[in-house]
Every structure is written in C-alpha cells, then in structure tokens.
A and B are shown apart, each in its own frame.
Chain A
C-alpha cells in the first residue's frame, strides 16, 4: 500500500521533470526499492519533497532501525532530486511525530560499545540533516520526544501544532539515559544552557506555546475543527501546507534562519560566553543534581558531562562524550531498572480483564474527605457524572472546595480555562442523601476505616442502587471479603485502594476477592484507567499488597527509632537508599494513627513476623495528639507556610520510654538500610509466593508508584534480581540471628537464592 502511494506520488511529477532529472526515471523502474519501503515515503509537491513517516505496526512512530534506514534512503533521493529545493518532514499519525528511539534497539545490545555505535549512527544521520543543502522543515503534530526531538532540532526549521497532544521533550533521563543523538550538543545552542539543562535533567514535556517561547520551534499552527474532513486529518494537512510555505519561504529567503538577536539575547549570550559563568552553572547544576539524586542516578551527571565536553572542548569531543556516555548509561542497572518500570507502567495501563459490559457513566463517592474528594477530582473531568456524598454540610463543602481548588490550580498552570473548570464542575453533584443513587453504575466508598461503619454503609447503599451497580471500597488494610460479608451481592464488591494525594499519586491498587466477578474487575480497571491511574490488580488479604509490604518496614523503622536513631537520621538513611520520602516523614504523611491502626490489624493477622518496633510507640504518639502532618505534629513539627520542619522535641522523651539497646553488629548505617528494605522486599516476594500478586511486574510497579520504593532499583523484584537473592538472604540470616522471625526469608526468596538462574525478570 505504502509502496503504491510512493509510485503514485512519482507519477504526479510532470513529464518535464522526468526529462530534467534522469535519476528519478531510473529509480522508478527499480520497483523492489519502493515496494520495500513501509515506514517512510515521500511525495514531491512542485519543488518541495514531503517526507511522511508512518510505522504501520504501531500507534506511534519510533526511530527503529527500519525507520532510520528508510529515512536515509529517502533523504538520499531527495538530495539527488534536482527538482526538489526543500523538504518537509511530517508524520501521518494524528497524535505522534516521533515518540522517541526504539528502546528495544538499545536493549538488544550487549555491550556499551554497541550502544555507543548506535548513538554515533544517529549522530551521523542527524548531522547530515543539519548540514543538508536543502532546508528541511519539521512539521510537528503530537508527541515529539527523545530521538524525535533530536531529529526535529537537527532540521533547519520547526512548525508545530498548538494541539494539546503536541509535546516536545527529552525524557531519556527518566530511563536512565541521555539524549544520545546530538541532543546534548544542539539543545544548549538552541535554548541556552540553563534551558537545555532544565529540559534534559527533568525530562519534562514542553507544550507547543512554551516551545515557541523557548525558541525550540519557529512557528505555531492552530488545530482545526470540523470541515470537509475529520479535524485530525485536516489539521495534519493544514500543518503540511503551512510547512510547505515555510520551506519555500526559506528557499526564497523570505524566512531568514538566523534571527536577529534581541538585547536580552545578546546579553545572555555574552554572559554565557564567559567561561567562569559556565563553570558556575555546571557546579550549581551538579550540586542540585547530587542533592536530589543522592548520587544514585548516573544519567543526570553524564548529561552535564556531555554538555560540558561540547561547550568547553568543541563539538568533536562533545559528540564523542555524548556517544560514549550513552553507551555507558545503557549498561547501568539504574537504566535497566528505569526501563523496566517504563515497560511495567505501559503494561499496567492496559485492561487485561477486557471491556466491561456497561461503561461507568455515573459514579457515586461516599465520604467527601481527602480521599473521597480526591477521587472525585480525578473522575469529574473524565466525562463521568460524579456524585459526592457526605453526612455533614461542613464535610461536603470542604470536599467540594478541594475539587474546585484542584481544578482551579490547573487554570493557574494554564492546563485548562476557567470555562472548562466550570463546565467540568457541572458534572459534580454534592449531596447529603442517597437521591440519584438509583442511576449509579459504581459506588466508591471512602468512609472511615472501621469494619462496622463499612458494613452499615454497604447495607444502606445496596438498598438504593440498581442491580448492576458495583460497590468499590477504598480501604488500605481491611480485607475486602470481610467488608463484602455484609453484601447481598459479593460478586459486585471490589476494593479500590487509592493513594493520597489522589490527584498526584499515580497508583491504584485494585483488590478482588474470590467472589468478585471478572466483569466487576474489568469495570473497576476501566474506571481507574480513565482516571489516569497505573493499575495493579491483586488478591485479597490483610493489607493486600502495598500496605502489607509497608507495614513490616514501618515496624522496623519504629524499632530503629527506639534504638536511638533520630527521625532526621532515619529519613536520611531511607532517602539515601533511594526512597523519595524518608520513613519518618512517610509515617507522618500517612498519619501516625493510620500507621498504628494498620500495624495493629496486620500484627493480629500475621502474628509475630510483623513485630519489630513496639506498636505502643505509635499509640502513645496518637494519644498525645502527634498524628502526623494533619495534626501539625508527628515525628516532626509542621508549621503552616513553612517548608522546613524540625524534629518534634517531645518525641525524644517518648522514645526514651521505649528505648531499646541496639546490637552493634546489625546497626551500621548500611545494616539499618538493609533491615528496612529487606523486610519490605521479603514481604513483597511472599505476596508473589502466596498469589496475592499476579506477577513481579505489578509488584515492582505497585512498590515504586504507590510506596516510593527506589525507582533506581526498579522495584523489589528487580532489586532481588540485581542485588542477588543469595546476598539478600545472607544479610537477612544475619539479622534473623538478632531479631528472630521478623527476618526469616520466605520460601520463594530462598529458592531464588539457591538457584542463581532463577530471576523474576527475564
């Protein structure tokens, strides 16, 4: 099909041109050459070659080997065609220019040298694009990321649609890599050194209008509405038309590629021209990176290094450094872990339970607390009519205000307009009674964590909802089957465990009992996906997966505190291991009362294995009002408006009462870290062993996205693979000698320790 298109394009070239350039005539007889091309094609429109990319096997374009090879072929033909004076590079896919390089291509390499070679090939290709005697205009609609962005910035000119889908960025750092096809060299020249660092070190997506302001694109095109074709199709056509005009404009010198520099730009260039200033910037950025990454992530440092090499020692060194660093990074365990998470996240954004029989159009949420309102906030703007019910006017209006504020903050970030906020809020109904519940397709309860209250609620709700309505319970620890015991239709009962704050935390843990029907699960996953969540579906049991992993780690954290390590030190040890939030701060965030509650419940369910610190430490804290951030005091004292926090001075006496004597043989900083982590990991592996988890991928995703397990380690299962199950077991045995069964490795972990060929991830 694509080959036919190419031939059709050729046939449109007038006879006059055939005569003018014999090469084309010759090529057109070489049929196999054209028919073989499936990813890249071009059409000559008078004097402009329109190069179209379209990967027939995927929803997005990636810079695969195939794509690159065909691109080089096409590029050579365009250069050789005398009738062509300029070119437009455009994607035929509505939401994607090029989403990036093909990760599999990198993962298929076994040595850093191979990856370096890949990088150098990319560099070479883009260098040819950059030095092309015929100007090339990149026409960008949809995601232009990673290698796609590097391709675009190698072109002479960039036009982008102002569509919400159009984003530009260099997300390589999030995969533990760097922009390895000239990005570290071209970006600083294009958007300035600070701007380039910001882009490459955060990996954040840049919208079209911001990209224009930064100088990343030259011109913007508005997305079009209905016309004589579908809006998406016509918008791409329009973009192409404008890009062709630009290409001709450049050839005819109506558009100048060297823009006149403004005063600010001149000053900035002058300042950046001073070596000392640049050194200060490198130092500053380096310091910031070290502070934030604790040195656990090599990619940001290599990015700085590559940029520096190019700016200080010239392009040859710069490109070489970029390629070599790219090769090195691709072989790191951190990159491997991050890429694993990326794949896992993609997998957890799919509904493996199929399409639900009835899509949820009306959702009712019980309880307008932090959780309930948070769930409403992520639901109401997804085209689902949302009812938020509470028992008091005060509770309800607090919840409604939370939803309003969440949307209003998006206006400040220019993500939505005030009109969109208003029309979104029109899908939210706040109420105190059960009116309208007869239309609900799903009810999510987010009431207080007390089995009796949950039972009362489920009975009340089931009296008013229609037979098809699903009852989802948002609980962090109560077993779903216990809650479902009060239900008349347990097949419609499911657990949906959201994480606080709901609008920020990506994870949703869905819990099914053995009675939950497949359609109920499919429906819950569908709602979660609509809400933008990354979803793991786990089996029922006390604490399910996430809470169950967290509990022993927190128990250990309490013991560590009792042993005289102060909260600040405990936080430093955990963040030093890669957790984004320290253990003491995490406990404050979750709420000491919740932690106490969970510790007690799970302690009862799992027995002495869940011991460690004394639960009474938490209980006493709660008694004295130290419930964590929400009460202003916990392990720390929180002053509204202040970001820094001091250790709660009263906590010392309290801990003094429960003081334990540390055993020096297992109390080094490293040992404390591994005591915390090994209990977490062991419990995760046990969840897989018991069938709570469907597989290690969901286990890793749940731990990283829900609990902040160090992303550089890729989750508990990848950690075991990388660190070695045998080494972990060895450490645990040592702690077991001191603390007993808290550290007894589970059978599956022992199996992996025995046989080093056994790995959770292939």
Chain B
C-alpha cells in the first residue's frame, strides 16, 4: 500500500458504524435502472409497466436472484396509467416473478421510489419480510388525458340510459365545451401553481441568480457526460425496446456552453424569471429497481451487499412557498437522527429538480437565519461541499422520471461510496406537495 492512498486504508475498516443494537441491518444488494430517455423518444410506444418490467428483469439478470426468492415487490409512480394502476403487480407478473409474490404501488410525487424502498425497510424491520424488490417507474410519453367532467358525466349517464329517446337526448346535450379535454399538469392541486413557477419564486426568494443556475446546470451536464464516458453509470442496464433499437445510454445529457444557456428565455415567469428549460429537469421516461435484504439473508444467499440503508426521514412543509425545500428540511433532521454532521458525509446525492431549487436549498442549509426562523434550530448545518456533491450528474442532466429517481439516487450513493471510498452518503430530495426525504447510507465494508 502506497502512502499516496491512505484514505482507502482507513476506510476499509471503519472504526464506527451506524449499526444499532437490536435493530436489523438492512442492505442494498443491487440497484439497476433502464436508461433514462427524454419522453417521446425511443420508449414512446411502450406502457409504464413495460419499463418497470425491463428494470425488474435487469435486476434479476444482474443478481441471478431466483424468481421466487422475493417476499414482496413495491413500486413507486406518480402519473398513473389507469389500466395498470397497481403497476407493481403488472410489472412483476410480466417480468416473470412468481405470481405468489404480493406487490403494491405507492405514490409520493418525486420521492415515490424512496417511499417504495423505505416501505421495504419497514417490512424487513418488522420481521415481515427478508427480501424486497423496490423500484419506481415514470412514463411521460403517454399520460392520461381525460374527457371533460361534463362529457364524462354525459357518457356515464348514457350507460344508464334505458330508452333510445333518453340516449338521443343525452347525445343531443353534448356541446363543443364538452369536448375540451383535461390535461394533467405538473401543478399543485392545492395552489394551482406549476412547479416551475414555484421554483422560479423560490430561486428569487433566495436571491439565486440566472448565472448561478446556468452554471449549476452546466456542471450537472458536464459531470454526467464525464461519468457516462468513464463508464461510471454502471446501474444502467441495456434494454431492447420492442420494434426499436437497444438502448444503453441516457439521452438527455447535453453539455452546452454558458453562452448557449444564457440565450434561453425564462420558461415560467415572464419576462423577468430565471428558470429556463435548460436549467430545469426535463420530462423523462425511465424505471429503476433495487434489491433490499436483511444483512443476514443477503449473506446467507451468498450476496456481497453494496451498502447499508440507515436512518431516513420524511418531511413536509408549506406547498406554496416552500414547495421544493425538502432537502433543506430533511438533511439536518436525518443527520441529527444518525448523530452525524455535514463533515461526516463523503457522498451527497441530491435530487436536482431545478438548478434554482438546488441552489436555494444549498443557501437555506447555509443560513443561520433560515435555520433559526423556519427550522427551530440554533445554527445552520452548513451546505454540502461541492466536491462531494452530485459528482456523476443529476436529475438535470441524467433525467428525472418522477417515480424512478429515488432508487437512482440511493444506488448512485452506494456506487460512489464504493468508487470514491467514503463511509457515509446522504440522499435528499424534494417532492410536490411540499414534501421531502433524506436518507443516510453507509458503505458496506468491502
């Protein structure tokens, strides 16, 4: 061992750990995802469960897991396809898992797959299960566009109409206004504000400039490109799309220049807003899956776990003015639970919904005033060091299939810990509804 690499030496045997007496150690055995593609591209003709299926099959393939060795399957998704509302069940059946394995679907906006994972953690902790497959899927190439409420009402009444006369009179009552469809919007139900609009206000509230946002977006794309080229994104499986080519890479990574980015007009608040299409995450299709087990079981089955899943928190706040501040609230809380400080964390993976949202969260974490006024803390925890932060790109560049991002974050932390040789990693993400999540991940001693 050379002196030039003392870090890996000390990290091989950690002196401390977050293991707690009497609490089962839960490990991440493997994590995979389909390539994340801009919606409307190669995946366009699929259905959501097809993507989830691909992720599940990829996981099976990578782990050589017997198809009946899983106790429970949980998936997260946001925009539901009505035909497959329990997408977890359809995908697990389609992926060839035993039909004896129960599966359910959870939803919590952009942290849906985080909920899927923590639900699994809960089931293992409670002694219900030992082996869980959790994942997430989002398919934005096709979304449920509905008839208007008036039209739906007429059509339902038509079902019940008994005579021809009744039917004709109902059909006759249809007006042009009935035909206007209802499109789903990425907007809060409670405030009717779109997320981009809220992000722009958030950036303004924290005084995040357009320049800072463009710089961060450029950083994300540049780092993602580097990671992709270096083959670091090993969680990506290749996927033969029926009737199309085999996809093996994310297609949203586009390192550009500051000049190019500066040319874009604001997308939400016009004309003086700062959030643009280029410094926001884009609509993405993709799915992810992870295998979570109790440490005992994993070892018994001969697996070499990648990481421990440790403390986690869910937080929520005002959906209007603090919609995207989940990481700022979640990070200090989960650190306190784990008894760690910012300095103890070696790897940060934050979900990048918008560059402005990330910058706002970093500023909030670094502000004593914010900590005191809104979080009831005496002092700030501080902002994460940028040299540890989202080093392989993030949602801005890799893409953000709402329901699938959480598993990508956790898997990336595990992979980065392995690659970079740190002990603790931290995942944090915001979600619609003013909610948020943070989780501490500990490297598995290699």
A245 lies within 8 A of B272 (CB): yes
- Which chain A residues border B269 with CB–CB below 8 Å? 222
State in angstroms the CA–CA spacing of A221 and B207 once bound together.
15
State in angstroms the CA–CA spacing of A231 and B205 once bound together.
7
Please, how many residues of chain B have a CB less than 8 angstroms from a CB on the other chain? 27
Known A231-B205, A234-B205: A225·B272 in contact at CB below 8 Å = no
Q: Mark B362-399, 1 if CB is under 8 A from A, else 0.
A: 01100101100110000000000000000000000000
Nearest chain B CB to A226 CB, angstrom units: 6
Q: Which of B244-252, B291-299, B318-326 forms part of the interface with chain A? A: B318-326
A228 lies within 8 A of B367 (CB): yes
State in angstroms the CA–CA spacing of A228 and B328 once bound together.
13
Nearest chain A CB to B138 CB, angstrom units: 25
State in angstroms the CA–CA spacing of A619 and B189 once bound together.
55
- Which chain B residues border A224 with CB–CB below 8 Å? 201, 204-205, 321
State in angstroms the CA–CA spacing of A238 and B207 once bound together.
8
State in angstroms the CA–CA spacing of A231 and B373 once bound together.
12
- Which chain A residues border B206 with CB–CB below 8 Å? 227-228
- Which chain A residues border B201 with CB–CB below 8 Å? 222, 224-225
- Which chain A residues border B218 with CB–CB below 8 Å? none
B369 lies within 8 A of A228 (CB): yes
- Which chain A residues border B189 with CB–CB below 8 Å? 419
State in angstroms the CA–CA spacing of A227 and B367 once bound together.
9
Partner of A419, one of B190, B204, B321, B360: B190
Q: Is A219 an interface residue (CB 8 A)?
A: yes
State in angstroms the CA–CA spacing of A221 and B370 once bound together.
23
Nearest chain A CB to B308 CB, angstrom units: 35
Known A222-B201, A238-B204, A419-B189: A228·B318 in contact at CB below 8 Å = no
Partner of B374, one of A219, A221, A226: A226
Q: Is B202 an interface residue (CB 8 A)?
A: yes
Nearest chain A CB to B318 CB, angstrom units: 7
A interface bracket (residues with beta carbon within 8 Å of B): 10 to 19
Q: Is A191 an interface residue (CB 8 A)?
A: no
Q: Mark A227-254, 1 if CB is under 8 A from B, else 0.
A: 1111100100010001001000000000
Known A234-B205, A245-B272, A417-B191: A225·B369 in contact at CB below 8 Å = no
Partner of A225, one of B192, B202, B367: B202
Name the residue of chain B whose CB is nearest to the CB of A229.
B369
A228 lies within 8 A of B322 (CB): no
Q: Mark A192-236, 1 if CB is under 8 A from B, else 0.
A: 000000000000000000000000000101101111111100100
Name the residue of chain A whose CB is nearest to the CB of B268.
A222
Known A224-B321, A228-B367: A242·B272 in contact at CB below 8 Å = yes
- Which chain B residues border A231 with CB–CB below 8 Å? 205, 321
Name the residue of chain A whose CB is nearest to the CB of B273.
A222
Partner of B205, one of A225, A242, A417, A419: A225
Give the residues from 271 to 292 in chain B that come closer than 8 angstroms, CB to CB, to chain A.
271-272
A226 lies within 8 A of B190 (CB): no
Known A224-B201, A224-B321: A417·B272 in contact at CB below 8 Å = no
Q: Mark B131-142, 1 if CB is under 8 A from A, else 0.
A: 000000000000
Known A219-B272, A242-B272: A225·B370 in contact at CB below 8 Å = no
Nearest chain B CB to A566 CB, angstrom units: 47
A227 lies within 8 A of B205 (CB): yes
Which of B204, B318, B373 has most A Cβ within 10 Å?
B204
Nearest chain B CB to A647 CB, angstrom units: 41
Name the residue of chain A whose CB is nearest to the CB of B370.
A228
Give the residues from 388 to 421 in chain B that come closer than 8 angstroms, CB to CB, to chain A.
none
State in angstroms the CA–CA spacing of A227 and B197 once bound together.
16
Known A234-B205, A238-B204: A225·B320 in contact at CB below 8 Å = yes
Q: Give how many A-B residue pairs fall within 8 Å (CB-CB).
A: 60
Known A219-B272, A234-B205, A238-B204: A225·B191 in contact at CB below 8 Å = no
B321 lies within 8 A of A226 (CB): yes
- Which chain A residues border B204 with CB–CB below 8 Å? 222, 224, 227, 234, 238
Give the residues from 138 to 159 in chain B that come closer than 8 angstroms, CB to CB, to chain A.
none
Nearest chain B CB to A259 CB, angstrom units: 14
State in angstroms the CA–CA spacing of A417 and B193 once bound together.
11
Q: Mark B204-217, 1 if CB is under 8 A from A, else 0.
A: 11110000000000
Name the residue of chain A whose CB is nearest to the CB of B320.
A225
State in angstroms the CA–CA spacing of A229 and B271 once bound together.
24
Give the residues from 203 to 239 in chain B that come closer than 8 angstroms, CB to CB, to chain A.
204-207
Nearest chain A CB to B361 CB, angstrom units: 11
State in angstroms the CA–CA spacing of A225 and B370 once bound together.
12
Which of B192, B201, B205, B363 has most A Cβ within 10 Å?
B205
A221 lies within 8 A of B272 (CB): yes
Name the residue of chain B whose CB is nearest to the CB of A238.
B204
State in angstroms the CA–CA spacing of A225 and B201 once bound together.
8
State in angstroms the CA–CA spacing of A245 and B272 once bound together.
8
Give the residues from 299 to 320 in chain B that come closer than 8 angstroms, CB to CB, to chain A.
318, 320
Name the residue of chain B whose CB is nearest to the CB of A242.
B272
A225 lies within 8 A of B207 (CB): no
Partner of B360, one of A221, A227, A230, A245: A227
State in angstroms the CA–CA spacing of A1 and B29 once bound together.
65
- Which chain A residues border B364 with CB–CB below 8 Å? 227-228
Name the residue of chain A whose CB is nearest to the CB of B205.
A227
- Which chain A residues border B202 with CB–CB below 8 Å? 225, 227
Give the residues from 60 to 116 in chain B that come closer than 8 angstroms, CB to CB, to chain A.
none
Q: Mark A156-177, 1 if CB is under 8 A from B, else 0.
A: 0000000000000000000000
State in angstroms the CA–CA spacing of A222 and B269 once bound together.
9
Which of A219, A227, A417 has most B Cβ within 10 Å?
A227
A228 lies within 8 A of B363 (CB): yes
Name the residue of chain A whose CB is nearest to the CB of B325.
A226
Name the residue of chain A whose CB is nearest to the CB of B363.
A228
State in angstroms the CA–CA spacing of A227 and B271 once bound together.
22
- Which chain A residues border B205 with CB–CB below 8 Å? 224-228, 231, 234, 238
Give the residues from 335 to 376 in chain B that come closer than 8 angstroms, CB to CB, to chain A.
360, 363-364, 367, 369-370, 373-374
State in angstroms the CA–CA spacing of A78 and B426 once bound together.
53
- Which chain A residues border B367 with CB–CB below 8 Å? 228
B191 lies within 8 A of A419 (CB): yes
Known A224-B321, A226-B374, A242-B272: A417·B207 in contact at CB below 8 Å = no
Name the residue of chain A whose CB is nearest to the CB of B190.
A419
Give the residues from 379 to 425 in chain A that come closer than 8 angstroms, CB to CB, to chain B.
417, 419
- Which chain B residues border A242 with CB–CB below 8 Å? 272
Nearest chain B CB to A629 CB, angstrom units: 35
A226 lies within 8 A of B322 (CB): yes
Name the residue of chain A whose CB is nearest to the CB of B317.
A226
- Which chain A residues border B374 with CB–CB below 8 Å? 226
State in angstroms the CA–CA spacing of A221 and B201 once bound together.
10
Q: Mark A720-757, 1 if CB is under 8 A from B, else 0.
A: 00000000000000000000000000000000000000
State in angstroms the CA–CA spacing of A226 and B202 once bound together.
8
B360 lies within 8 A of A225 (CB): no
B363 lies within 8 A of A225 (CB): no
- Which chain A residues border B373 with CB–CB below 8 Å? 226, 230
Nearest chain B CB to A328 CB, angstrom units: 45
- Which chain A residues border B191 with CB–CB below 8 Å? 417, 419
State in angstroms the CA–CA spacing of A242 and B204 once bound together.
11
State in angstroms the CA–CA spacing of A230 and B321 once bound together.
12
- Which chain B residues border A238 with CB–CB below 8 Å? 204-205
- Which chain B residues border A234 with CB–CB below 8 Å? 204-205, 207
Nearest chain A CB to B103 CB, angstrom units: 33
B321 lies within 8 A of A225 (CB): yes
A228 lies within 8 A of B272 (CB): no
Name the residue of chain B whose CB is nearest to the CB of A237.
B207
- Which chain B residues border A417 with CB–CB below 8 Å? 190-192
**9 nearest interchain CB pairs?**
A225-B321, A227-B205, A224-B205, A227-B206, A419-B190, A242-B272, A238-B204, A222-B201, A228-B367
Further pairs besides A224-B201, A225-B201, A228-B206: 4, Cβ < 8 Å: A224-B321, A227-B370, A230-B373, A234-B204
> What are 5 residue pairs bridging A and B, where the CB atoms are less than 8 Å apart in the complex?
A219-B271, A226-B370, A227-B206, A228-B369, A231-B321
